[in-house]
Structure 1
Amino acid sequence: MKNKIKLYGFNNLTKSLCFNIFDVCYTMSEQDQKEYVEYIDEQYNSERLTNILLNVSDMIGAKVLHVSKQDYEPQGASATVLIAENNFHGSETLAHLDKSHIAVHTYPECHPVSSLATFRVDIDVSTCGEISPLNTLNYLISSFDSDIITMDYRIRGFTRDIDGNKLFMDHTISSIRDYINKETLEKYESVDFNMPECNLFHTRMMIKNINLNNYLLHTDENELSEETRLQIINSIKREMEEIFWGEIKKK
């Protein structure tokens, strides 16, 4: 924050960022589906996810207290980092007074009755005090291939200024998009559903341009007929729009 508020004691505000990404793929066979899930499972294993979380911890100036990670069968991975944002006089016990966490989970899956496969990542960053997890958004977006991104930001609790007045917000925000760089925003359609009176902000983003080759495995779009290309693109768009709006489109 540019202008820090003088507080009485601790900053007791809790700031939570829920960051969800979806990556869509069109598979031409069951073998393609299997290979896509295996590729994603390997690309985003618990080791890499942990490194992403450690970078996030470093970006918000947090001290890592504990790391837990796990890969799952048949697919998926999780990682959790317990952090402390202040370390008063080097005391680990006091540092636990403001402990927070960062967690990530992956969900690679195939559509049971179509050629679509979807990879989902959920990241939760919860901090206490003056540091906002919104400052990590550009890094998180760049760490994944994201067709759809949904984000929730919530500030809970209250703190007091030096005169004892309650403060339910300690920084200015009108939209989560304010924290995303212009180059990234230009690539996505985006919409806000905000409740500023509740300190609750929600943003959805969907990729604008579909390069079909980015959604195919072992197949070049030039090998396909124009009719087939159009059918695949329409299927991908339909999948994205349903995820983006959170509702099933009528056929």
Structure 2
Amino acid sequence: MPVNPPKPKSPKDIKIQLQGFNNLTKSLSFNIYDICYAKTDKHTQRYIEYIDEAYDAERLTQILTDVADIIGANILNIARQDYEPQGASVTMLISEEPISSEALSNTMAPGPLPDAIVAHLDKSHLTVHTYPESHPDNGISTFRVDIDVSTCGRISPLKALNYLIHCFDSDIVTMDYRVRGFTRDKKGKKHYIDHKINSIQNYIAKDTKSKYQMIDVNVYQENIFHTKMMLSDFDLDNYLFDEKATDFTKSEREKIKKQVQHEMLEIFYSQNLQNL
């Protein structure tokens, strides 16, 4: 159940003179999961190979480059690696791109895709890591992507959220957003957050939210926000690799459906549930 204490009064976007640089740190961390059923060991291996190729270090670098464009960042350095037998990582160091203050926005609204946004970022980083894996004996495979977008300054990394969700086949998404530290105005007063927020959901497009079951756990007084998403509709064909639902008998389809949904629920609730 959501744990939402009474909402305190949130400050408006800071429009006062600060003492030096706005050094609030805003961090968005989230995990994206893609679930798949692969009929045989050979299918499982092909699925892992497919994922490893589709989301290799080069592709992930392009995704993070697009994120940098969304939030208006200069890329200072890129470190990337494809691992054996599978998986990849990319880390970018970034700095702010000079943009007029009129372009800055922390409003609680979904961030558009990269061809429609100009924003502002200060020195920080973007990272992405992938983790393909499979169950040893029941045909279930999962692909997890861990992404961190950390910014310093006025803009929130939540503006890149919609783009990242759409970059991957997102069956389940777990997101954490936190504002750390403080910035000080000319009078010496500390500000621990510089924009209104009561839920990460406010930054997700309406059509995306309509497709997911969502829950929040927010700790407003600590500027910590947590949201989980799981696809609501279930079409078995979307979870089969190299197979179609019609390739299975009715009883097989029902068994596979239960296995996949069981896997999704365990990930969504972060706990092992009773075996089917």
**Could you state the TM-score of these two structures normalised by the residue count of structure 1?**
0.93
Alignment equivalent of 2:138, drawn from 114, 117, 121: 114
Q: Which segment drifts farther, 3-12 or 195-204?
A: 3-12
Letter in 2 for 1:46: A
Alignment equivalent of 2:126, drawn from 94, 97, 102: 102
Equivalent positions of 1:162-177 (< 5 A) are: 162-177=186-201
Counterparts of 1:217 and 1:157, CA distance in 2? 46
Equivalent positions of 1:32-43 (< 5 A) are: 32-43=43-54
Letter in 1 for 2:24: L
Equivalent positions of 1:150-229 (< 5 A) are: 150-229=174-253
Kindly provide the CA deviation profile for residues 38-84 of structure 1, in whole angstroms up to 9, marking residues without a partner as x. 00000000001001101111111111110111101100000011001
Alignment equivalent of 1:58, drawn from 50, 69, 92: 69
Indicate conservation of the 8 Å contact 1:12/1:159, yes or no: yes
Cα 1:78/1:60, change in 2 over 3 Å: same
Counterparts of 2:253 and 2:187, CA distance in 1? 65
Q: Which residue of structure 2 lines up, in the alignment, with residue 95 of structure 1?
A: none
Counterparts of 1:67 and 1:158, CA distance in 2? 29
Counterparts of 1:65 and 1:87, CA distance in 2? 14
Letter in 2 for 1:40: I
Counterparts of 1:177 and 1:59, CA distance in 2? 19
| 2:89 is aligned with 1:78 | yes
Counterparts of 2:209 and 2:59, CA distance in 1? 25
Q: Tell me the SS of whatever aligns to 1:193.
A: strand
Q: Tell me the SS of whatever aligns to 1:66.
A: strand
Q: Which residue of structure 1 lines up, in the alignment, with residue 109 of structure 2?
A: none
| 2:41 is aligned with 1:30 | yes
| 2:91 is aligned with 1:67 | no
Aligned pair count reads 242
Kindly provide the CA deviation profile for residues 140-176 of structure 1, in whole angstroms up to 9, marking residues without a partner as x. 0000001100000011000012322100000000000
| 2:247 is aligned with 1:236 | no
Greater per-residue helix proportion: 1
Cα 1:3/1:164, change in 2 over 3 Å: closer
Of all paired residues, the percent bearing the same amino acid is 54
Letter in 1 for 2:242: H
Kindly provide the CA deviation profile for residues 12-31 of structure 1, in whole angstroms up to 9, marking residues without a partner as x. 10000002100000011000
Q: Tell me the SS of whatever aligns to 1:194.
A: strand
Indicate conservation of the 8 Å contact 2:14/2:194, yes or no: no
Q: Which residue of structure 2 lines up, in the alignment, with residue 94 of structure 1?
A: none
Contiguous gaps of at least 5 residues in structure 2: 1-11, 100-121
Counterparts of 1:116 and 1:147, CA distance in 2? 14
Counterparts of 1:5 and 1:192, CA distance in 2? 32
| 2:60 is aligned with 1:46 | no
- Tell me how large the CA RMSD over aligned residues is: 1.5
Q: Tell me the SS of whatever aligns to 1:203.
A: strand
Shift of 1:114: 1.8
**Could you state the TM-score of these two structures normalised by the residue count of structure 2?**
0.85
Shift of 1:223: 2.3
Shift of 1:217: 2.0
Letter in 2 for 1:66: N
Letter in 1 for 2:239: Y
Q: Which residue of structure 2 lines up, in the alignment, with residue 92 of structure 1?
A: none
Letter in 2 for 1:117: S
Indicate conservation of the 8 Å contact 2:128/2:145, yes or no: yes
Counterparts of 2:151 and 2:75, CA distance in 1? 13
